[in-house]
Structure 1
Amino acid sequence: MSDTTIDTAALGEQIVAVIKTIYDPEIPVDIYELGLIYDVFVNEDMDVKILMTLTTPNCPVAETLPVEVEEKVKSIDAVNDAEVEITFDPPWSQDLMSEEAKLELGML
């Protein structure tokens, strides 16, 4: 695929698909369904910025999870660069989880 045929929406879908392969080590649900990904931005240079949170500020994977997300997103051919920004505003809560995640964890 040449760079001219890929659009940012399609790339966004690819990014989400890759993010869905990353799991929280303490909860058997991917970080997208958990609601840890707040936003994915793709600019015209195919630079990606991901705004995400963690379940807690002292999460045991606070150091490694953002790096894993960055590396996996950078592995997509069309992505020029990727940066992950961690935020705790708003703080993560179970309300951010998808129905699928709640079902998986027996919360429905």
Structure 2
Amino acid sequence: MDTTQNDRPGQDSSPGVSPNQDLEKQVVDALRTCYDPEIPVNIYELGLIYNVDIQPGGAVNIRMTLTSPMCPVAESLPPEVETKIRSIPDVSSAKVEVVWDPPWTPAMMSEAAKLQLNMM
């Protein structure tokens, strides 16, 4: 399953939801608990998560970026993301790859994040 910032999964879990969809929701929920300490918005809503790929068997691969290559949390945020994803019971492994292309811009933030930061 492949989730991109523009393809956010729904928030509701219903009886017809497949196990991968449920795991995807759990992964996204975990991502929403990770913050860049300089910005009071979670990394998912900030648009720092470019791709969530859930493989059969529960292997999760995440492609993410940071607000800048000089970001002070460059060393700590990706391992935090990996740890939180690995803590989900149905996840067998987690890999976080930091990428710089495309470069992050504030336009990648969700509307909710822009509202929270008074950018709308």
Q: With structure 1 as the length reference, what TM-score do the two structures score?
A: 0.93
C-alpha distance in structure 2 between counterparts of 1:62 and 1:94, whole Å: 18
Moved over 4 A (4+): none
Q: Secondary structure at the match of 2:44?
A: coil
Q: Secondary structure at the match of 2:60?
A: strand
Residue of 92, 95, 105 corresponding to 1:80? 92
Is 1:36 matched with 2:48? yes
Identity %: 54
Question: For 1:41-60, what aligned pairs fall within 5 Å after superposition?
Answer: 41-60=53-72
CA shift for structure 1 position 24: 1.0
* CA offset digits 1:54-92 (Å, max 9, x no partner): 000110000000000000000000000000000010000
C-alpha distance in structure 2 between counterparts of 1:100 and 1:42, whole Å: 25
Is 1:104 matched with 2:116? yes
Residue of 80, 86, 89 corresponding to 2:101? 89
CA shift for structure 1 position 8: 1.4
What's 1:3 paired with?
none
What's 1:19 paired with?
31
- Code of the residue aligned with 2:46 in structure 1: it is L
- Code of the residue aligned with 1:14 in structure 2: it is Q
What's 1:10 paired with?
22
C-alpha distance in structure 2 between counterparts of 1:50 and 1:19, whole Å: 10
Q: Secondary structure at the match of 1:32?
A: helix
Pairs aligned (count): 104
CA RMSD of aligned residues (A): 1.2
